[in-house]
């Protein structure tokens, strides 16, 4: 088992270094940073107590949008570059199993997304802290209740977004293990992200009370085969405290995300094992 961990770590390190050297990673990171920093320009408008919420939501949106693009495109590219260049044949000819190769790719891509998420989260925290300081000074002059944000809540939110993007990576890897082309994996992976974002609508639409427990169980199962990516949206409750997080809600989201990651990686390993390279 220790030998397997060393091989997975080796693949992960190579994948991470390859990913962060890509111009596409740098391009999306710059775009994400620009989007977070540009939220400061909206301070000229009088948003009242909702100004911090606007800045936070602006940063949250950029973090997930650009992170999703990075997770889908870079994961598929990192996988198919090994297949198309035939380097996977060389790697797998050594004492490296296919599941170790896949898990190493996941770990490297997830580490790359960790850099992306926490850089943006750190900048967003600086922007929120700076504007909060100004609002506190203004509140002392006007006597209004100052707007505040939670730094620990922002850290928790960043961890949840990193986990959400980890789910996306696992889904894309399982698709890539089956797909024959990079384009197919990117298109289907993008559709999976969109479907995961809209999955809660399907749950509300089909999970109606019914007299058939079997049919209800079937609907419950089918609506959960695809991960519900909306469950990770706890930004307002965690960062701004506008609504309390129910007890155990964060733990349930973390557990759900980890189960989806494990399930899709296991599925990808089974599919990749039967694939001809």
**10-49 tens-digit pLDDT:** 999 999 999 999 999 999 999 999 988 887 776 555 555 5
Question: Residue 260's closest CA among 192, 195, 175, 171?
Answer: 171
pLDDT at 77: 94
- Mean pLDDT over all residues of the chain? 83
Total tally of structural domains belonging to the chain: 1
Q: Is the separation of the CB atoms in 173 and 268 below 8 Å?
A: yes
How many angstroms separate the CA atoms of 3 and 185, rounded?
Answer: 31
pLDDT at 239: 76
Mean pLDDT over residues 116-142, rounded? 82
The two tokens of residue 97 are 């199993």
- Which residues span the domain enclosing 214? 2-273
Lowest mean pLDDT among 49-63, 105-119, 155-169, 236-250: 236-250
How many angstroms separate the CA atoms of 160 and 114, rounded?
Answer: 11
The two tokens of residue 136 are 């506190």
User: Which backbone phi and psi does 217 adopt, to 5 degrees?
Assistant: -65, -40
Mean pLDDT over residues 78-107, rounded? 87
Helix axes 151-178, 51-84, angle to 10 degrees: 30
Where b means 16+ CB within 10 Å and e means fewer, 208-225 reads: eeeeeeeeeeebeeebee
Q: Give the Cβ contact number of residue 54 at 10 Å.
A: 14
Mean pLDDT over residues 1-15, rounded? 88
Q: What percent of the chain has pLDDT over 70?
A: 81
Q: Is the pLDDT of residue 159 over 90?
A: yes
Classify residue 47 by burial, with Cβ atoms within 10 Å: 0-12, 13-18, 19+: middle
Classify residue 248 by burial, with Cβ atoms within 10 Å: 0-12, 13-18, 19+: exposed
Mean pLDDT over residues 145-167, rounded? 84
- Using 50, 70 and 90 to split pLDDT, how confident is the model at 204? low
For residue 54, how far is the Cα from the chain centroid?
A: 21
Lowest mean pLDDT among 120-124, 134-138, 157-161, 163-167: 134-138
């Amino acid at each position: 088992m220790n030998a397997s961990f060393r091989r997975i770590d080796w693949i992960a390190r190579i994948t991470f270094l390859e990913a962060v050297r890509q111009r596409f990673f740098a391009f999306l990171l710059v775009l994400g940073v620009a989007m977070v920093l540009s939220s400061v320009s909206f301070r000229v408008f009088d948003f009242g107590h909702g100004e911090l919420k606007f800045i936070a939501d602006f940063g949250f949106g950029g973090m997930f949008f650009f992170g999703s693009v990075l997770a889908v495109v870079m994961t598929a590219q990192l996988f198919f570059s090994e297949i198309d260049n035939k380097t996977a044949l060389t790697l797998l000819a050594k004492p490296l199993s296919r599941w170790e190769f896949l898990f190493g790719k996941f770990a490297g891509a997830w580490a790359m997304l960790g850099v992306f998420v926490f850089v943006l989260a750190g900048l967003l925290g600086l922007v929120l802290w700076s504007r909060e300081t100004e609002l506190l000074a203004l509140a002392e002059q006007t006597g209004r209740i100052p707007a505040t944000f939670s730094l620990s809540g922002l850290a928790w939110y960043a961890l949840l977004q990193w986990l959400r993007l980890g789910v996306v990576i696992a889904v894309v890897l399982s698709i890539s293990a089956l797909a024959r082309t990079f384009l197919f994996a990117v298109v289907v992976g993008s559709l999976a992200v969109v479907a995961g974002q809209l999955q809660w609508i399907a749950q509300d639409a089909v999970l109606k009370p019914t007299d058939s427990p079997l049919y209800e169980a079937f609907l419950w199962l089918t609506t959960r085969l695809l991960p519900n990516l909306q469950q990770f949206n706890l930004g307002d409750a965690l960062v701004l405290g506008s609504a309390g997080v129910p007890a155990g809600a964060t733990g349930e989201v973390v557990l759900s995300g980890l189960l989806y990651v494990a399930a899709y990686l296991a599925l990808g390993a089974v599919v990749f094992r039967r694939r001809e390279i």
